[in-house]
Chains A and B, each alone.
Chain A
Amino acid sequence: MAESDHPVFAVVGHPNQGKSSVVSTLVQDDHIAVSAVSGTTRVAHSYRLMLNGETLYELVDTPGFQRPRQILAWCMDRSEGAAQRPGALAAFVAQHRNEPRFADDCALLEPVLAGAGVVYVVDASQPFDATFEAELTLLSWTAQPRLALLNPMLDTTFESEWRAALQQYFSLVRTFNPLLAPFAQHLELLSAMAEIHPPWRGSLLRSVNALREQREACHQQAADILANYLESVLRFSIQLPVVGSRDQLRATGIAQYNRELQRREGELQSRLAKLYGHDALDWNSEWQPLRTEDITDARHWRVWGLSRRRLATLSAGTGAAAGFALDAATGGASLMVGALIGGTLGGLAGGLAGRDALSFELISRVPGYEEWRLGPVSSLDFAVALTGRALRSWYQVRQRNHARRDALALRPQDLSHWLDGLDAKQQVQLLFWLRKLLKRALTENESNQLRLLLVALGEQMDA
């Protein structure tokens, strides 16, 4: 079979070692069948990385070895020296291609014999034993560029044992957890693949650059979506014609307001998920109750925002900064009174903010045509909480690898003022923009600045 003009890598190994998980994560596709049940993959599947119509490299997901010892015995019987081994292996595949017993093994060996590089995946939480020797010997007989991946599916108990064994057969041995490895590690793995065969280096490094740029563009777009979302929810209001008492009216309005907020949040989550290529993401387990609760109820939303003390401190900081600007404008003649007053007022505003999440006011007093308006958001605390939820959704889709099939979970630390952990300067900037959004819609230029801040916050999520 003729070699391809682009690098091809076959992901091979024993059954149930996480081969499909590795492929799913690398090709960012959550449709690839991944399961804890062994032998899920029955035929080879190829995935090409395309850049403007050009193939940069190809990854082949293969079924696991089934009868490596029998294949090895067959080949040994028919080869007298090292030079004849690849030929013997090719002869085996040619002869047994249509035999159901060897279907999986042939599907695995075919791309390798056609010139693909080998990415051998093993579960580093299981012990190494002699059965794997046959697989490793067969792969070494293919004489193709090879790389081994240690996949710690449960733990890394046998990693050193595996590493010692694999280093005898592979020039490069890496640890890669397809479920948890951050995106930077995906690129590192591709870079490592570029090192095992110099002719493929250029194409693979171009892949790394293209994927990095694509990821950056993805983050930028996500920040745009978030800025747009924040503007839409923080400025959202509904008008309520007077029916019944004020309290009844408020209760009806809040229910309506909640539904709309939840709808918008759901829309945000699905847009972000789609952007990062998560088509089959399950938001319906731990996020579901959050969608049905009263978002405007402080008992529910306070956990998403900043702690009251932190909010007061940061607000004092933003107020003092504004006051300091006034002091500077007077050439210091104000004796820093501006900063003092600004800081005090900011701190008080931050500390006392959030008694009522939404504004509720009568906007038309014409008899018979009285109308109330619920919203927009009036409390900085609530605005921070809504932002916290939105950023949390972003974090989850951004960090999640495509090999994962479990539902999105919210860990306790997700709910305990996680915004507190962000860089203080960014917190102050975030509060500055949220305050602005509470007052008015942002101009195009301001939206861009908010987007840049969100991109920086996203980078902190990755750190």
Chain B
Amino acid sequence: MARASSERRFSLGLRWLQAQGDAGHISVRDWDSFLAAAAHMPEPSRLRLARLLPLLALINGPLALAALMLWPERSGLHLLLFLLVFVCLPLLVMAWTTFSVFALGRGPWWRVLVSGHDDGVIALWCARQALLSQGLFCISALVWLWLTLLTRQLIFYWSTSVTAVSERVAELFQVLSIGILEAPSPVLVQSAEAGAITGWQGAALAASPFWGGWLTAVLGLWVLLPWLALLVLCQWQLSRRIGRWPIYNQRLRLLFAQAREPDVHYRALQPEQPMVEPAAHDFPVVTSLAPEPGFRWRLVQDNAGGDVVLGVDDQHSDEVRVRTAASRLRRWYIPGHVVPTGDLADLLRLHCASGGEPELVILLSNGQDHVERLEALRHSWGVFLERNDLAVKVRLLVQGEPGG
């Protein structure tokens, strides 16, 4: 999928910034997808207005030029004022805009009108917009100048009565020409002949296209070339920064992190096993039992006479022992910590099949008789009997010793 333009991506980013709530409802793979997810959100109206700024500059250029043609005298275009308005000021403003955005991280003053958020991307977009406006202001003025030159009579002038000033201006023109351009030779009009209807206007009019050409070249060299370079720099930086916008803006960082599919994650290959609450089993808890020999499952110590120890040898030997003692022994003594398994179930089933009526006595040592532990034991033994289809009596003996 082709990446959207910087302008579009900037607009999508601002939409996220003005959006209410979080981004937990979407899932995206990367930053571009995240931006694309804002396509359905309304574009901020203030952004639309800010986009019109260069258009305003495009209109302002001819207006400014027309004003210069009317002021200070309605007799032509004052060269020094032209240079001030269309070379000096734009150059200063452009230099300051670029310096403040790259060195100070600040956008133009009207940045607050575009967005309440202040970050490196929004500031840069506003700076670029300011630069664009500044350049278009000069270009439109230049176009208007040439239209005027082609369709109307326009002379370029400046006036002084001091020779030294005249020399300084001539030097200024040389400086502006920087040895590349050639400034036309001025048509000197003495104050005495300025009011006369002699042929000096004709000479001045004839020189106008040359002055227009020189001014265009000066503007191009001093303003438009740097402007173009700065604009390209801003555009390149803007494009880069938009690609890393979350670094510059905390809210975007949070929103993107919420929506982003993690690069690293565990994937369950099977659906989760639902937690089934086991049925309640109310096996009685007793504190003493009359002594009686029995099978002792995994209980080697403290054997009384007549007891049969199981679970410490192989299953076949245990089966032989159970068959032999099935009619004699009833109880199965099992330590509380022992988890019932299928081996035990098979032996119990064998005991039943051999004519016995097994009864399980779960021995709880001290510390095992608290309520949660008892509940877990009841559930465990209940589940064990159900799964193995055994109908056996179970008792939990607290104190841990048979007959104790």
Pairing of A with B: yes
Please give the residue numbers on chain A whose beta carbons come within 8 Å of chain B beta carbons, in ascending order.
14-17, 27-29, 31-33, 35-52, 64-70, 72-73, 101-102, 104-105, 126-127, 129-131, 210-211, 213-214, 217, 221, 224-225, 227-228, 274, 443-445, 447-448, 451
Known contacts: A214-B264, A443-B118. The answer to whether A70 contacts B315 by CB under 8 A is yes
Chain B neighbourhood of A66, CB < 8 A:
341-343
A431 to B315, CA, bound (A): 69
Across the A-B interface, give the 9 residue pairs with the lowest CB-CB distance, nearest first.
A66-B342, A36-B376, A69-B315, A46-B269, A27-B266, A67-B342, A37-B379, A38-B380, A210-B264
Q: Which of A37, A48, A130, A443 contacts B380 (CB 8 A)?
A: A37
Chain A neighbourhood of B24, CB < 8 A:
274
Chain B neighbourhood of A274, CB < 8 A:
24
* A-B CB contact pairs (8 Å), 23 listed: A14-B339, A27-B268, A31-B272, A35-B275, A36-B372, A37-B278, A39-B384, A41-B273, A45-B268, A45-B272, A51-B263, A67-B343, A67-B346, A101-B346, A127-B337, A129-B298, A129-B300, A130-B311, A221-B253, A228-B250, A444-B118, A444-B248, A444-B249
Instruction: Determine whether the beta carbon of A214 is less than 8 Å from that of B262.
Output: yes
A269 to B55, CA, bound (A): 49
Chain A neighbourhood of B342, CB < 8 A:
66-67, 70, 101-102, 104-105
Question: Does B305 sit at the interface, judged by CB under 8 A?
Answer: no
Chain B neighbourhood of A51, CB < 8 A:
263-264
A447 to B380, CA, bound (A): 53
A73 to B314, CA, bound (A): 8
Closest to B251 in A: A228
Instruction: Determine whether the beta carbon of B266 is less than 8 Å from that of A47.
Output: yes
A214 to B261, CA, bound (A): 12
Instruction: Determine whether the beta carbon of B270 is less than 8 Å from that of A45.
Output: yes
A42 to B342, CA, bound (A): 13
A452 to B315, CA, bound (A): 62
Instruction: Determine whether the beta carbon of B267 is less than 8 Å from that of A48.
Output: yes
Chain B neighbourhood of A33, CB < 8 A:
272-275
Chain B neighbourhood of A50, CB < 8 A:
264-267
Q: Which of B248, B254, B272, B339 contacts A32 (CB 8 A)?
A: B272
Instruction: Determine whether the beta carbon of A37 is less than 8 Å from that of B341.
Output: no
Nearest CB of A to B372, in Å? 7
Instruction: Determine whether the beta carbon of B384 is less than 8 Å from that of A38.
Output: yes
Chain B neighbourhood of A46, CB < 8 A:
268-270
Instruction: Determine whether the beta carbon of B272 is less than 8 Å from that of A70.
Output: no
Chain B neighbourhood of A44, CB < 8 A:
270
Chain B neighbourhood of A210, CB < 8 A:
263-264
Chain A neighbourhood of B372, CB < 8 A:
36
Chain A neighbourhood of B17, CB < 8 A:
none
Q: Which of B267, B339, B376 contacts A64 (CB 8 A)?
A: B339
Instruction: Determine whether the beta carbon of A39 is less than 8 Å from that of B383.
Output: yes
Chain B neighbourhood of A15, CB < 8 A:
339, 341
